[in-house]
Amino acid sequence: MTINLIKLCVGADRVDDLVDWQQRLLRMSEGTELEGHPHHTTRMFPKRRDELLAGGSIYWVIAGQIQARQRILDLREVQTNDGRKCMIVLDPELHRTRLIARKPFQGWRYLDVKDAPADLEGGEGGEDLPIRAELAELGLL
């Protein structure tokens, strides 16, 4: 069985902000074992590891809307000055999704496959237009 994660993309107002952040991570990881794979480090290690690695994705909430997802490739335990953390290794391919409003929350949450938004099809309004969020909030998308 597959499960997903949902996470706020703090500091991002648009999907392009997430893309820029991950491009910086990719440049910093050149020559390391993470080369070519963006990652996100979080304090809590998911207990449902096997379900996440069975095809799960992380869904990014940007400006109050789920707007994109990336497939989770690995979960690694890393030791930092603050203690044990979880590094979520991601597929570099970012998929834009249909918009679903989400209220703010801390950390990450599990997201059932049945509750995850569908990916946008090619040319289906995938451009990062601020009006998309407003139209979705009004139920017009």
In a 13 Å sphere around the CA of 90, the CA atoms on its Cβ side amount to 24
Helix runs in 43-118, H state only: 49-52
Please report, for the chain, the start and end positions of each structural domain, with discontinuous segments joined by +: 3-137
- 3-state SS, residue 106: coil
Q: How confident is the model at residue 134 (pLDDT cuts 50, 70, 90)?
A: low
Residue type (1 letter), 70: Q
Which pLDDT score, from 0 to 100, does residue 109 have? 96
The answer to whether residue 72 scores a pLDDT higher than 90 is yes
Q: What are phi and psi of 21, to 5 degrees?
A: -60, -45
Tell me: the pLDDT tens digits for 100-124? 999 999 999 999 999 999 999 865 5
Query: pLDDT tens, 23-66?
Result: 998 888 888 777 888 999 999 999 999 999 999 999 999 999 99
Q: Do residues 17 and 24 lie in contact, with contact meaning Cβ atoms separated by under 8 Å?
A: no
pLDDT at 133: 57
Distance between CA 73 and CA 55 in Å, rounded? 8
- Non-local (6+) Cβ contacts of 9 within 8 A are 17, 18, 60, 61, 62
